[in-house]
């Protein structure tokens, strides 16, 4: 690559969240001079900082499962993958395992054949095994998810789980912001640069391709490659670049609440609990430090979806109604759980695509790429997505016609083939998606 003066780079990456930092690391390793620009004061301070950082493989499509399974290995080998020190230490991979509850018509029916195809290690537990391994869970099923305001919420269970699908390799990352900082340090160690408090206000073009960006203070920085990794602001950057209308799949920001409750007395959920996907009650939970439990939502139809037009202006206070709904849903599964008076949790934005599957692609503007639409489910895939984006950008910049001949990337750890055409911007909406955080 070229020897670049300070205001010109081979690639500008808009955003320094977990995916933007991963794209930088992988491009820098290939010899590209990279600059990440972020309007916040440090890496991973955007939606990444509030991520639950759960690492699991139960997606609804072959491609979704394959990429997530390849992603496991990056987290298990985090220090080896980074090959760089961080003065703040490395984020830890907490390999607690996942249980996906099985019920008639449940998500496991899609997932099991995909696990077999991809060769994801798993165990099928019956309810006795479930009771032995995680004794704190009730096994009732409750029909279509509803809200606590609905009398049906309080009715006796309608039926029973039919066991659980256990994946021993999954877990969560101890600190998503630190993991991003680790990637920043790794990218810097191979020549990548980061600039903070730097807001991109315009994406410039010249001679039919992208030419660089202009910051809100008027600074112009040039690059023949610009990558939009702006998380919930992805649609704003696409509009700046003039590519928003040309993409078949669009992205929008969705408000999402996650709640933190203490483990019930006598239960050490931090050490004995695991990540749990409960589509019967439309929640997911995982252990959290301080013997807490973190509760997220699978966005059931009965809950209002709050789409946000301006990602810089949304209500970031935990609401009484959603706190009650999510905590009471877990209390149905874990009857000894109390509902604390003090609400604790976070509110942040998902960058949701039309089919809850990300867009990892080029655009109609030559040199302008997108790694967007992470739909509340791509923290885990950030390192592998960074690798795939670097392969894609490098192939296209060297003449590959990805639109007619989609690039297939071979996973470094598993050797699995990942067809990047699956993530293209002009796909039809994928009918196999769960249209939820499960992807």
Ligand X SMILES: Cc1cc2nc3c(=O)[nH]c(=O)nc-3n(C[C@H](O)[C@H](O)[C@H](O)COP(=O)(O)OP(=O)(O)OC[C@H]3O[C@@H](n4cnc5c(N)ncnc54)[C@H](O)[C@@H]3O)c2cc1C
Nearer to ligand X, 374 or 433 (CB): 374
Q: Report the site for ligand X in 15-34 (rule: CB under 6 A).
A: 15-20
CA 60/CA 292 separation, integer angstroms: 29
Which of 98, 113, 119 has its CA nearest to residue 279? 98
Binding pattern for the stretch 368-407 against ligand X, x by CB under 6 A and - elsewhere: ------x-xxxxx---------------------------
Distance of closest approach, residue 302 Cβ to ligand X, in angstroms: 20
Nearer to ligand X, 1 or 42 (CB): 42
351 Cβ neighbours under 8 A, 6+ residues apart? 47, 231, 232, 233, 234, 251, 252, 253, 372, 373, 374, 375
188: left (phi over 0), alpha (psi -120 to 50) or beta: alpha
38 near ligand X (CB under 6 A): yes
Stretch that binds ligand X, among 88-96, 226-234, 323-331, 427-435 (CB under 6 A): 226-234
Can you tell me which of 28, 230, 247, 393 binds ligand X, judged by CB under 6 A?
230
Stretch that binds ligand X, among 8-16, 83-91, 98-106, 265-273 (CB under 6 A): 8-16
Distance of closest approach, residue 230 Cβ to ligand X, in angstroms: 4
Distances in Å between the Cα of 17 and the Cα atoms of 198, 321, 370, 416 are 14, 30, 14, 26
Distances in Å between the Cα of 187 and the Cα atoms of 82, 135, 183, 310 are 9, 44, 6, 31
Contact 344, 261 (CB under 8 A): yes
Nearer to ligand X, 199 or 397 (CB): 199
Distance of closest approach, residue 224 Cβ to ligand X, in angstroms: 19
End-to-end CA distance of the chain: 37
By CB under 6 A, the count of residues binding ligand X is 38
Q: Report the site for ligand X in 325-364 (rule: CB under 6 A).
A: 348-350
Nearer to ligand X, 219 or 410 (CB): 219
Q: Report the site for ligand X in 276-335 (rule: CB under 6 A).
A: none
Token pair, residue 211, equals 């030419």
Binding pattern for the stretch 195-224 against ligand X, x by CB under 6 A and - elsewhere: ----xx------------------------
Stretch that binds ligand X, among 38-46, 84-92, 126-134, 418-426 (CB under 6 A): 38-46
Strand partners, 55: 171
Nearer to ligand X, 163 or 439 (CB): 439
Token pair, residue 278, equals 């409960």
Can you tell me which of 37, 94, 96, 420 binds ligand X, judged by CB under 6 A?
37
Nearer to ligand X, 278 or 348 (CB): 348
CA 143/CA 149 separation, integer angstroms: 16
Nearer to ligand X, 163 or 237 (CB): 237
Distances in Å between the Cα of 416 and the Cα atoms of 81, 95, 119, 306 are 18, 22, 10, 37
CA 59/CA 67 separation, integer angstroms: 10
Nearer to ligand X, 153 or 423 (CB): 423
Distance of closest approach, residue 265 Cβ to ligand X, in angstroms: 27
Distance of closest approach, residue 236 Cβ to ligand X, in angstroms: 6
DSSP 206-246: ETTEEEEEEETTS-EEE-SEEEE--GGGHHHHHHHHT-TTT
Binding pattern for the stretch 150-189 against ligand X, x by CB under 6 A and - elsewhere: ----------------------------------------
Token pair, residue 41, equals 């004061």
Q: Report the site for ligand X in 41-100 (rule: CB under 6 A).
A: 45-48, 50-54
Token pair, residue 20, equals 């933007």
Nearer to ligand X, 20 or 411 (CB): 20
Distances in Å between the Cα of 13 and the Cα atoms of 6, 54, 99, 221, 369 are 15, 25, 36, 11, 9
Distance of closest approach, residue 377 Cβ to ligand X, in angstroms: 5
Can you tell me which of 14, 227, 357, 370 binds ligand X, judged by CB under 6 A?
14
Distance of closest approach, residue 331 Cβ to ligand X, in angstroms: 21
Q: Locate tokens 């980061």: which residue?
A: 194
Distance of closest approach, residue 434 Cβ to ligand X, in angstroms: 14
Nearer to ligand X, 40 or 395 (CB): 40
Q: Evaluate the CA torsion angle 289, 349, 305, 380 in order and state its sign.
A: negative
Contact 173, 179 (CB under 8 A): yes
Q: Report the site for ligand X in 247-266 (rule: CB under 6 A).
A: 256, 258
Q: Which residues bind ligand X (CB under 6 A)?
A: 14-20, 37-40, 45-48, 50-54, 199-200, 229-233, 256, 258, 348-350, 374, 376-380
């Amino acid at each position: 690559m070229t020897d670049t003066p300070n205001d010109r780079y081979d690639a500008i990456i808009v955003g320094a969240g977990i995916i933007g930092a991963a794209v930088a690391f992988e491009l820098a390793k290939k010899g590209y001079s990279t600059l990440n620009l972020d309007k916040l004061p440090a890496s991973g301070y955007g939606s990444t900082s509030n991520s639950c950082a759960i690492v699991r493989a139960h997606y609804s499509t072959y491609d979704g499962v394959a990429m997530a399974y390849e992603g496991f290995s990056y987290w298990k080998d985090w220090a080896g993958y980074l090959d760089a020190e961080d003065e703040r230490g490395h984020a830890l991979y907490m390999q607690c395992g996942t249980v996906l509850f099985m019920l008639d018509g449940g998500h496991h029916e899609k997932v099991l054949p995909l696990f077999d195809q991809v060769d994801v290690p798993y165990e099928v537990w019956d309810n006795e095994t479930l009771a032995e391994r995680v004794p704190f869970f009730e096994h009732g099923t409750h029909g279509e998810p509803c809200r606590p305001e609905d009398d049906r919420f309080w009715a006796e269970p309608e039926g029973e789980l039919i066991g659980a699908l256990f994946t021993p390799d999954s877990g969560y990352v101890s600190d998503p912001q630190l993991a991003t900082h680790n990637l920043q340090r790794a990218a810097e160690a191979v020549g990548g640069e980061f600039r903070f408090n730097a807001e991109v206000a315009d994406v410039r073009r010249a001679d039919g391709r992208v030419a660089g960006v202009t910051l809100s203070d008027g600074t112009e920085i040039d690059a023949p490659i610009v990558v939009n990794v702006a998380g919930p602001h992805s649609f704003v950057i696409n509009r700046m670049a003039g590519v928003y209308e040309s993409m078949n799949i669009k992205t929008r920001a969705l408000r999402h609440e996650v709640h933190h409750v203490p483990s019930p007395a006598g239960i050490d959920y931090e050490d004995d609990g695991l990540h749990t996907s409960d589509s019967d009650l439309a929640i997911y939970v995982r252990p959290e430090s301080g013997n807490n439990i973190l509760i997220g939502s699978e966005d059931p139809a009965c809950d209002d979806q709050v789409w946000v037009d301006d990602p810089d202006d949304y209500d970031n206070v935990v609401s009484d109604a959603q706190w009650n709904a999510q905590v009471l849903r877990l209390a149905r599964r874990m009857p000894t759980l109390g509902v604390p008076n003090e609400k604790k949790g976070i509110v942040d934005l998902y960058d949701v695509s039309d089919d809850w599957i990300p867009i990892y692609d080029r655009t109609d503007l030559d040199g302008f790429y997108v790694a967007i639409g992470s739909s509340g489910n791509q923290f885990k895939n950030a390192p592998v997505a960074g690798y795939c984006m670097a392969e894609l950008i490098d192939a296209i910049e060297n003449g590959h016609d990805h639109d007619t001949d989609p690039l297939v990337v071979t996973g470094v750890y598993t050797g699995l083939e990942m067809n990047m055409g699956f993530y293209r911007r002009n796909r039809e909406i994928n009918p196999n998606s769960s249209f939820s955080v499960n992807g």
